């Protein structure tokens, strides 16, 4: 779920959407969630807003992370592909080494 947060009302709308999503997720037994702030803060007030408001799912506060996996792609808070590429390269290297050991 993505939303631009510019004031308290936006944060409240996002929490309401999260609450509706929780009802759906309980049906399908899904419970992996986090907060990923993307982009730069334009003003000091929006930065303070992000750090003051916390979001909850299943009664637990969502962790704020610098990167997360979404549909197999690792997204970072600065939208750089470095973490995703490094992960793919590491997995490819491990698999290549496993194949090489077989010979």
* Measured distance CA(28)–CA(3) in Å, rounded: 23
pTM score: 0.55
Question: Which position has the token pair 């197999």?
Answer: 72
Model confidence pLDDT, tens digit, residues 30-84: 667 788 888 765 444 444 445 567 887 777 788 888 888 888 889 888 888 899 9
> Domain spans of the chain?
1-65, 67-103
């Amino acid at each position: 779920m993505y939303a631009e947060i510019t004031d308290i009302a936006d944060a409240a709308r996002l929490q309401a959407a999260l609450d509706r999503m929780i009802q759906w997720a309980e049906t399908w037994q899904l419970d992996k969630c986090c907060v990923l702030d993307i982009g730069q803060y334009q003003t000091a007030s929006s930065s303070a807003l992000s750090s003051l408001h916390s979001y909850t799912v299943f009664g637990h506060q969502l962790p704020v992370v610098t990167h997360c996996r979404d549909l197999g792609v690792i997204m970072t808070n600065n939208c750089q592909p470095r973490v995703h590429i490094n992960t793919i390269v590491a997995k490819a290297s491990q698999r290549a080494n496993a194949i090489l050991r077989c010979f």
